[in-house]
Every structure is written in structure tokens, then in C-alpha cells.
Chains A and B, each alone.
Chain A
Amino acid sequence: KAGVTQTPRYLIKTRGQQVTLSCSPISGHRSVSWYQQTPGQGLQFLFEYFSETQRNKGNFPGRFSGRQFSNSRSEMNVSTLELGDSALYLCASSLSLTDQYFGPGTRLLVL
């Protein structure tokens, strides 16, 4: 069974731009979560989607948004990028109430 895939793997943007990251979960998994990892703040929860509905949202500004499609694939969008948005963005998928499996991540650098 294929694992969680994320695209793109690396991205360089400039301040003020926007970016869209994509995540394809493990087949059959309906829950997709997004996390941000930075050296200063560690791993932090962004949001979780289940059956196209956002079930939970972390403490991030409204510039961070996401959505989930009917095939469970998810995208997250960051608008008006700031230098502090440079991070590794990780996506995870899970069945309803079991452990989460992470993708390889997207490394975003904001210049």
C-alpha cells in the first residue's frame, strides 16, 4: 500500500507570495492533518480534515487555510508569505481513531 505523498518536496517563495501544498493520504484513510515544523517552535498542529470537513484547527493566523477533496486528498494554502513561514510542512493521514502516518514533507523557504 502506498504511503502518504506530498508535493512539491521543496519550494522557494518570496515574501508576500502565496503557496499551495498538496497531500495524498494512504488509500482508505479519510483523516488528513497538517503540521508545521520549525527549529524554534517544533512540531505544531495546523488543522485536520475528515470527510471534507475541517474538524480541528490549531493556533495559526487566517493566512493558513486548507481543504479536502472527495477523494481525501488535501491542500493547504498560505497567503501573504512571511519569512517566519519557512518551515517543513508535514501531512499525516489516519483511519478514524488510529495512529497517524506522515508523509515526507514539503520544505518551504521564504526569501
Chain B
Amino acid sequence: GIQVEQSPPDLILQEGANSTLRCNFSDSVNNLQWFHQNPWGQLINLFYIPSGTKQNGRLSATTVATERYSLLYISSSQTTDSGVYFCAVDLGPARQLTFGSGTQLTVLP
């Protein structure tokens, strides 16, 4: 099956710093999503980005489908950005997301 690798596994930042999270995948995909899991376990959609670049406030994401990777950028980080960030992909047409192991982000005040 498809492999999804995320790096780094852990990241500790000071508030206000910028960061880049990476997701590599082993096959062509129909769907790629970035999620933030909050402390209560809820997975919150950040981006649906099978290709190209999107921005939403302090967050932006870029997927280079031909090179099989995606990047999530967090600028001017805040303590509320803490949590686990997951990249997930599926090959379609059925919805079967394969998740990476996540990046645990801790933003210190």
C-alpha cells in the first residue's frame, strides 16, 4: 500500500517563530489533506490540496504531486497552534485515507 512519511516527528518552537512540516508519499494520489488534531482528539481540516498552493491566514500549504511531497507552513506561531499535524492521502475513488504518523508541534509562550 501507499506509504506516507512525515517529518519532523516532533517540533518545539517559541511563540512567533515560523515552521515547515513535510509529508512524503510513495505513489500518485487523488487526494491530500492536512489536519490538525486538537487535545480532545478532533481532527480539524486545514487544507485539501492534491496539488498546488493554498493559503489560509498564517497557514499555507504546497503540494508538488510530480515529486510526491507536500509542505505545510506555519508562520508567526501561537500557543494555540500546538497539537499534532497529520498529512493524509488517498488513491481514490473510494475514500480511504492513509495517514502519516504526524508531527507533534509544541509552541512555547
Contacts and interface: CB of A to CB of B under 8 A. Distances in A.
Chain A interface bracket (under 10, 10 to 19, 20 to 34, 35 or more): 20 to 34
A102 B48 CA distance: 13
A104 B39 CA distance: 11
A43 interface: yes
B45 A101 contact: yes
A45 B43 contact: no
A42 to B, nearest CB: 5
A43 B41 CA distance: 11
Contact of A45 (B44, B86, B98): B98
Contacts, number: 62
Nearest to B31: A99
B99 A94 contact: no
Interface residues of B, number: 23
Contact of B96 (A45, A88, A99, A104): A45
B30 A105 contact: no
The majority secondary structure among interface residues of chain A is strand
Interface string A43-65: 11100101000011010000000
B63 interface: no
A100 B30 CA distance: 13
A102 B42 contact: yes
B35 A97 contact: no
Contact of A33 (B40, B41, B42, B97): B97
A21 interface: no
A94 B92 CA distance: 13
Given A31-B95, A48-B95, A56-B95, A100 B33 contact: yes
B43 A58 contact: no
Contact of B43 (A31, A90, A98): A90
B7 to A, nearest CB: 15
B50 to A, nearest CB: 9
Contact of A97 (B33, B44, B93): B93
Interface of A: 31, 33, 35, 37, 42-45, 48, 50, 55-56, 58, 88, 90, 92, 94, 97-105, 107
